[in-house]
């Protein structure tokens, strides 16, 4: 990314300005333009829409998904020969064929021989371009929560999803990372640039509040911070703590004053404990989280987003330090996930995809299953569980009346083999077959 060539957007932006400015920084304008041609337009009349039988599923029309086997993650109920009727992007009716009245002009998506599930939720992903957003949808993530971006690209992606839902997941944006060293993110907003004068970086209560407030002024939905260094950089020690309990509490308090929650990058047990007792909403990664912290998480209702996919990816690194971390951390993290589940700590699936590589959210479900969860409970981490974390429990994570018209079609029974979620045959986003 050429930061010098593209000035940061102003701190007080219109809705149009957020989209245009962040998209320009991310280099997404061309990608979005090429992707827009594929889904149905507002009238559902594009050639691509007619070929897929999904034209009328766009806004203002109807889409009927018929003949598949429907799984409701909330109840575990299975409905064979099901019909899911979506109108104006929202589920209007669900039931067995013959029990749902389908409008004569509705487009029909044939799901015979396939399983139908709600679109999945990636609760930790970094989406900086339109191409990455589109890839996430195609791989099954119809809703997501940002794990931060460098120049507020996630806020632009969120707006892109509102305009053209087939191009991006419904996104909860985090803005820029609240971290001691903001790096080039100091250029993301003129209100942040004075922080460059701080010798010790973003550590004082005033500086921490400043970054939180700028994020929220920019329209961030949540705040992302850290308590430990990164596992994905060989020169850093993931167990080294960068913020104290008091500093984390300052971040949480600043976010809460504006009605927002905090997700926290973490690894060490002490770091995890400090973050949880400081009042964060969700613990991210958390490889070495211990029982005392898990019990505190259960008491507080703090979510655990382990990002097993990212840790497993480290084991495949060509860098020997990272590969060793992945091999060491993954079994520890799997044990932590199972312990959390058995204690009743709420779990959410997240891939931590970044840097242009979007991993399928189905891979995280597979790893949750490998950690010891039942297939249904693993699926819930990417549906009903993650939806609750994002505050979408009444609209996302199920295919029921009033819920979003987001669906996933797969070839085989996901309760018998969750890996099928890594290979969706068709994704429907807001009633639009993608």
- Which one has a higher pLDDT value, 50 or 355? 355
Q: pLDDT at position 60, please?
A: 53
Report whether pLDDT(83) > 60.
Answer: yes
pLDDT, tens only, 119-178: 999 999 999 999 999 999 999 999 999 999 999 999 999 999 999 999 999 999 999 999
If phi over 0 gives left and psi between -120 and 50 gives alpha, with beta otherwise, what is residue 431?
left
Global confidence as pTM:
0.88
Percent of the chain with pLDDT over 90: 86
In the chain, where are the structural domains located? 38-118+397-434, 120-394
Q: Which of 55-69, 334-348, 355-369 has the lowest mean pLDDT?
A: 55-69
Domain 38-118+397-434 matches domain 120-394 at the CATH topology level: no
- Which one has a higher pLDDT value, 126 or 56? 126
Percent of the chain with pLDDT over 70: 86
pLDDT, tens only, 213-255: 999 999 999 999 999 999 999 999 999 999 999 999 999 999 9
Q: pLDDT at position 59, please?
A: 52
Find the mean pLDDT for residues 293-312: 98
Out of 1.20.1250.10, 3.40.50.720, 3.20.20.140, 3.40.50.2020, which CATH number does the structure's domain 120-394 have?
Answer: 3.20.20.140
Q: What is the SS3 assignment for the chain?
A: CCCCCCCCCCCCCCHHHHHHHHHHHHCCHHHHHHHHCCCCCCCCCCHHHHHHCCHHHCCCCEEEEEEEEEECCCCCCEEEEEEEEEECCEEEEEEECCCCCCCCCCEEEECCCCEEEECEEEEEECCCCHHHHHHHHHCCEEEEEECCCCCCHHHHHHHHHHHCHHHCCEEECCCCCECCCCHHHHHHCCCCHHHHHCCCCCCCHHHHHHHHHHHHHCCCCCEEEECECCCCCCCCCCCCECCCHHHHHHHHHHHHCCCCCEEEEECCHHHHHHHHHHCCCEEEECCCCCHHHHHHHHHHCCEEECCHHHHHHHCCCCCHHHHHHHHHHHHHHHHHHHHHHHHCCCECCCCCEECCECCCHHHHHHHHHHCCCCHHHHHHHCCHHHHHHHCCCCCCCCCCCCCECCEEEECCCCCCCHHHHHCCCEEEECCEEC
For the chain, what is the mean pLDDT? 89
pLDDT, tens only, 102-121: 999 999 999 999 999 999 99
Find the mean pLDDT for residues 4-26: 40
Has domain 38-118+397-434 been given CATH number 2.30.40.10?
yes
Find the mean pLDDT for residues 380-389: 98
């Amino acid at each position: 990314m050429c930061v010098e060539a593209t000035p940061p957007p102003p701190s007080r932006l219109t809705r149009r300005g957020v989209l245009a400015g962040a998209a320009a920084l991310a280099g997404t304008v061309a990608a979005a333009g090429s992707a827009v041609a594929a889904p149905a337009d507002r009238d559902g009349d594009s050639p691509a829409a007619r070929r897929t039988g999904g034209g009328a599923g766009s806004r203002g029309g109807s889409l009927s998904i018929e003949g598949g086997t429907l799984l409701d993650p909330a109840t575990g109920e299975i409905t064979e020969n099901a019909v899911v009727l979506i109108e104006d992007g929202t589920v209007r009716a669900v039931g067995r064929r013959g029990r749902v009245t389908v409008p004569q002009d509705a487009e029909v998506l044939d799901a015979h021989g396939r399983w139908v599930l709600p679109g999945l939720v990636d609760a930790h992903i970094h989406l900086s371009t339109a191409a990455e957003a589109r890839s996430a949808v195609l791989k099954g993530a119809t809703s997501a929560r940002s794990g931060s971006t460098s120049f507020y690209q996630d806020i632009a992606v969120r707006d892109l999803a509102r305009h053209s839902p087939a191009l991006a997941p419904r996104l909860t944006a985090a803005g820029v990372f609240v971290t001691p060293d903001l790096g080039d993110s100091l250029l993301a907003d003129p209100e942040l640039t004075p922080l460059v004068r701080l010798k010790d970086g973003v550590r004082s209560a005033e500086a921490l509040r400043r970054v939180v407030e700028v994020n929220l002024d920019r329209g961030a939905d949540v705040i992302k911070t850290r308590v430990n260094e990164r596992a994905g950089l060989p020169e850093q020690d993931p167990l080294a703590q960068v913020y104290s309990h008091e500093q984390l509490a300052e971040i949480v308090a600043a976010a809460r004053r504006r009605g927002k929650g905090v997700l926290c990058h973490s690894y060490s047990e002490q770091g995890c404990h400090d973050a949880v007792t400081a009042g964060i909403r969700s613990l991210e990664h958390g490889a070495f989280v211990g029982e005392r912290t898990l019990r505190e998480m259960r008491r507080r209702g703090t979510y655990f987003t382990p990002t097993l996919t990212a840790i497993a990816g480290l084991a495949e690194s060509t860098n020997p330090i990272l590969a060793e971390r992945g091999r060491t951390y993954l079994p520890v993290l799997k044990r932590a996930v199972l312990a959390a589940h058995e204690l009743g700590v709420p779990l959410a699936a997240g891939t931590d995809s970044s840097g242009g590589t979007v991993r399928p959210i189905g891979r995280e479900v597979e790893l949750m299953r490998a950690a010891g969860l039942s297939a249904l409970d693993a699926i819930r981490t990417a549906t009903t569980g993650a939806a609750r974390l994002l505050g979408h429990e009444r609209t996302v994570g199920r295919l029921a009346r009033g819920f979003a018209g987001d669906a996933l079609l797969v070839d085989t029974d996901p309760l018998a083999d969750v890996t099928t979620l890594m290979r969706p045959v068709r994704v429907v986003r807001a009633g639009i077959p993608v």
